[in-house]
Amino acid sequence: MEKTHLNVAFGYLSILLGYLALHKPVRQKLKSSHSAKSIGPLIGSIREFIAHYEQVENAISERQDGDRPHVSYVEGLQELVQQLEDHAARG
């Protein structure tokens, strides 16, 4: 269970860093401080969180009436990934 908590915390930290990285000076600092000199690993972490989040929500919604209130949250995270990828492509 402890590993799950750490993964969740890491996922939310990745999302926070992703939103901060939309600001150019922060993005440049993240890029320069990472060994890959890119925000690709950050994007990968956010994608992984989205996948885990969807798995949990799908399991919960199967037990309920099939409501999917998390869709807008997931869409927001996917939009974040798209924006970060656009910034990464521009350099």
Sequence-distant contacts of 34-43: CB under 8 A, at least 24 apart: 38/88, 39/84, 39/87, 39/88, 40/88, 42/14, 42/17, 42/18, 42/84, 43/18, 43/81, 43/84, 43/85, 43/88
Summarised one tens digit per residue, pLDDT across range 10-61 is 999 999 999 999 999 999 999 999 888 999 999 999 999 999 988 888 887 7
- Alpha-carbon gap, residue 31 to 43, rounded angstroms: 12
Where does the pLDDT of residue 73 fall: very low under 50, low under 70, confident under 90, or very high at 90 and above?
confident
Cβ proximity of 49 and 41 under 8 Å? no
pTM of the predicted model, to two decimals?
0.85
Cβ proximity of 26 and 84 under 8 Å? no
